[in-house]
């Protein structure tokens, strides 16, 4: 028996704690069959959304999950705590649109109390940030976590009102920009990222305005290549405006210098040579970063997905509701993670688009 299993004191975040045998059994890092350590969990808290972005959802929406199918806050907390004990230290809450889930700040407060979590983040379309920014920042700050912050990625695909409307099918650009401004008041919420999905024939015209935003605001702008996760299944490779093309356009306006890439980061981040602002490129399609992917995903209905493009998923909700103990859940998780896909196969002959759209997976 190891020292830890015998119940010795370990240190986490500078605090002493007696390890139980159980903690010992889950302290093994969560690793896949390709040697990648899994440290980042994306949790979709709802499949619903108040936008209808063209590249994600049809105008009429999608058949939403029933309430009973969605994990409760207690169920999410239990699973996140389990993952955290296996070495997942970063959790991102997504949707659909996470801020449409009723009482969402309460969930954030519950998760912020999980001491192993170092990094809490939210991906949102920003529509309800004006209403919720203060509550979210307060909820995240209620814990002892170092920094007590929560980081935000806010999706903004156009900085022109009519084009924003055309793309999201909501006339909401002003509302989103006001939400961003509210958030920016809180130092704990920085750095704030603004994410734009890059679409050929659309985003080219947006580049100068996004460059200005990146240079003259506190936001870090990032372009994300369009991926085949749209409900309409209309994705074709020629609609992907690549990170390299965007980089060239931006660099021609204002020269860029690369910043060092953080391990497992999705974005290649640059600073403007004159020191004003940063901009990033997430080239998931043209330059996949699968080799050091450390991410897994939990859907709103409690399925574990080991890749955005997984064709299989592992049900955790069923066992959870049937009374599985943490050991059983841990075994299910480890088995699923062990089989994590080596890489996505977009652009290869055998590629199959998963049945779930981005809104039902969690970005």
Residues at the site binding ligand 5AD, with contacts judged by CB under 6 A: 55-56, 94, 123, 155, 195, 197, 224, 226-227, 229-230, 358, 363
| Identified binder of ligand SF4 from the candidate list 155, 195, 203, 299, rule CB under 6 A | 155
| Identified binder of ligand SF4 from the candidate list 51, 210, 281, 309, rule CB under 6 A | 51
Helix (H, G, I), strand (E, B) or coil at 69: helix
Q: Which stretch binds ligand SF4 (CB under 6 A): 49-57, 204-212, 244-252, 267-275?
A: 49-57
Shortest separation between residue 141's beta carbon and ligand SF4, angstroms: 26
- Nearer residue to ligand SF4 within complex by CB, 153 or 294: 153
Q: Which does 52 bind (CB under 5 to 8 A by kind): ligand SF4, ligand 5AD, none?
A: ligand SF4
Q: Which does 226 bind (CB under 5 to 8 A by kind): ligand SF4, ligand 5AD, none?
A: ligand 5AD
| Identified binder of ligand SF4 from the candidate list 26, 43, 53, 88, rule CB under 6 A | 53
Contact 226, 235 (CB under 8 A): yes
Is residue 293 near ligand SF4 by the rule CB under 6 A? no
DSSP string for 199-263: BTTTGGGGHHHHHHHHHHSSEEEEEEE--S--TT----GGGB--HHHHHHHHHHHS-EEEPPPPT
- Nearer residue to ligand SF4 within complex by CB, 36 or 52: 52
Shortest separation between residue 125's beta carbon and ligand SF4, angstroms: 4
Q: Which does 227 bind (CB under 5 to 8 A by kind): ligand 5AD, ligand SF4, none?
A: ligand 5AD
Q: Which does 164 bind (CB under 5 to 8 A by kind): ligand SF4, ligand 5AD, none?
A: none
**Helical pair 326-338 and 73-85, crossing angle rounded to 10 deg:** 70
Going from the C-alpha of 220 to that of each of 28, 108, 175, 239, 260, the distances in angstroms are: 35, 23, 19, 24, 15
ω into 191 cis (within 30 of 0)? yes
Is residue 52 near ligand SF4 by the rule CB under 6 A? yes
Q: Which residues contact 255 (CB under 8 A, 6 or more apart)?
A: 272, 273, 274
Strands (E), the chain: 9-12, 15-18, 40-44, 90-94, 119-124, 151-155, 192-198, 219-225, 256-258, 268-272, 278-282, 295-298, 303-305, 314-315
**Which has the closest alpha carbon to 196: 288, 125, 99, 289?**
125
- What DSSP designation does 32 have? -
Contact 342, 307 (CB under 8 A): no
Q: Which does 195 bind (CB under 5 to 8 A by kind): ligand SF4, ligand 5AD, none?
A: ligand 5AD
Q: Which residue is nearest to ligand 5AD (CB)?
A: 363
Shortest separation between residue 143's beta carbon and ligand 5AD, angstroms: 25
CA angle centred on 198, ends 192 and 199, rounded to 5°: 155
| Identified binder of ligand SF4 from the candidate list 41, 45, 56, 137, rule CB under 6 A | 56
Is residue 96 near ligand SF4 by the rule CB under 6 A? yes
Q: CA 193, CA 210: separation in Å to the nearest integer? A: 12
Shortest separation between residue 165's beta carbon and ligand SF4, angstroms: 13
Q: Which does 40 bind (CB under 5 to 8 A by kind): ligand SF4, ligand 5AD, none?
A: none
- Nearer residue to ligand SF4 within complex by CB, 314 or 359: 359
Q: Which residues contact 14 (CB under 8 A, 6 or more apart)?
A: none
Alpha-carbon torsion angle 35, 39, 45, 50, nearest 10: -90
Shortest separation between residue 358's beta carbon and ligand SF4, angstroms: 6
| Identified binder of ligand SF4 from the candidate list 153, 283, 299, 359, rule CB under 6 A | 359
- Nearer residue to ligand 5AD within complex by CB, 225 or 330: 225
Q: Which does 49 bind (CB under 5 to 8 A by kind): ligand SF4, ligand 5AD, none?
A: ligand SF4
- What DSSP designation does 31 have? B
Going from the C-alpha of 232 to that of each of 47, 62, 290, the distances in angstroms are: 16, 11, 25
Residues that bind ligand SF4 (CB under 6 A): 49, 51-53, 56-57, 95-97, 125, 155, 358-359
């Amino acid at each position: 028996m190891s020292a830890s299993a015998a119940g010795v004191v370990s240190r986490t975040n500078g605090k002493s704690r007696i390890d139980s045998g159980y903690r010992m059994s889950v302290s093994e890092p969560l690793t896949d069959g390709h040697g990648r350590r899994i440290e980042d969990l994306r949790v979709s808290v709802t499949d619903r959304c108040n936008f209808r972005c063209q590249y994600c959802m049809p105008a009429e929406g999608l058949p939403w999950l029933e309430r009973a199918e969605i994990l409760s806050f207690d169920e999410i907390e239990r699973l996140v705590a389990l993952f955290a004990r296996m070495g997942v230290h970063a959790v991102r809450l997504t949707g659909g649109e996470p801020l449409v889930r009723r009482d969402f700040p309460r969930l954030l407060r519950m998760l912020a109390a999980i001491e192993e979590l170092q990094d809490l983040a939210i991906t949102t379309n920003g529509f309800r940030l004006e209403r919720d920014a203060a509550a979210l920042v307060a909820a995240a700050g209620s814990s002892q976590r170092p920094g007590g912050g929560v980081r935000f990625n806010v999706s903004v695909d156009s900085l022109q009102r009519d084009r924003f409307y055309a793309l999201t099918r909501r006339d909401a650009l002003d509302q989103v920009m006001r939400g961003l401004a509210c958030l920016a008041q809180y130092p704990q919420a920085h750095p704030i990222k603004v994410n734009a999905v890059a679409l050929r024939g659309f985003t080219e015209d947006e580049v100068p305005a996004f460059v200005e935003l990146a240079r003259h605001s506190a936001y870090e702008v990032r372009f994300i290549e369009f991926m085949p996760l749209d409900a309409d299944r209309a994705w074709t490779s020629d609609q992907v405006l690549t990170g390299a093309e965007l980089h060239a356009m931006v660099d021609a306006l204002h020269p860029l210098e690369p910043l060092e890439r953080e391990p497992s980061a999705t974005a290649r981040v640059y600073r403007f040579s004159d020191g004003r602002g940063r901009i990033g490129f997430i080239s998931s399609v043209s330059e996949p970063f699968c080799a050091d992917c450390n991410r897994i995903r939990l859907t709103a209905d409690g399925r574990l997905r080991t890749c955005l493009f997984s064709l299989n998923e592992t049900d955790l909700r069923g066992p959870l509701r049937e009374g599985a103990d943490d050991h059983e859940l841990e075994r299910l998780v480890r088995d699923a993670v062990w089989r994590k896909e080596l890489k996505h196969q977009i652009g290869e002959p055998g590629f199959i688009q998963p049945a779930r759209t981005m809104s039902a997976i969690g970005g």
